[in-house]
Amino acid sequence: MNNSKQLKMTVYTSLFVAFIAIGAFIAIPIGPVPIVLQNMFVLLAAIILGPLWGLACVGIYLLIGLAGLPVFAGGTSGIGKLFGPTGGYLLGYLPCVFVTAGISKALGKKLSTDIIAMVIGSLIVYGAGVPWLKVVTSMTFEKAVAVGMYPFLIGDALKIIAAAFIAKTLRPVINL
């Protein structure tokens, strides 16, 4: 990778770190409960930046949160958040971004394949988050799924569809 391309990726990755952090603050009113866009930006980072830069992006986001800046959902931060009930979702972003980017790249970065990649990525986040939630809160697995997964599925489906269209429009603009 030449210096110019590397610099561009450095800036774009930083931009996506900021988007993921700000995603918790951007709420779109859909129905009685607004949805926040944080996980959508994680998925977009994966399919736009690719596996390695995407992984770096989520890693830096977690690092900033661990260092104490209020970038995790709810404006929180700190290592305590990582070991709290939602820590599994946060750590799940790392394999999610890598796998989503890998699948998207392997299948040719099309609208339909991006959707498949993002669905798998979202399942990875739940795969890490729900068992973690179960262990930390001592809930039954059924209850952990009921409070930590089912309520978010519709919102996630909407975000994945939107993200696929956004990625399709954005790719020619940023020319990566």
List of E strands, the chain: 27-28, 35-36
Binding site for other proteins (CB under 8 A): 3-4, 7-8, 10-15, 17-19, 21-22, 25-28, 30, 35, 37, 40, 44, 56, 60-61, 63-64, 66-71, 74-81, 83-84, 158-159, 161-162, 165-166, 169-170, 173-174
Which tokens belong to 134? Answer: 């179960």
Question: What is the CB neighbour count within 10 angstroms for residue 53?
Answer: 20
Nearer to other proteins, 25 or 150 (CB): 25
**Taking the complex as a whole, how short is the minimal distance between the CB of residue 153 and other proteins, in angstroms?**
14
Nearer to other proteins, 75 or 150 (CB): 75
DSSP state of 107: H
Coil vs helix vs strand at 36: strand
Q: Which amino acid is at 45?
A: A
Nearer to other proteins, 27 or 107 (CB): 27
**Taking the complex as a whole, how short is the minimal distance between the CB of residue 154 and other proteins, in angstroms?**
9
DSSP state of 74: G
Q: What is the dihedral of CA 153, 38, 115, 134, to 10 degrees?
A: -40
- Compute the chain's Rg from CA coordinates: 16
Nearer to other proteins, 17 or 99 (CB): 17
Nearer to other proteins, 106 or 150 (CB): 150
Q: d(Cα 147, Cα 169) in Å, to the nearest integer?
A: 34
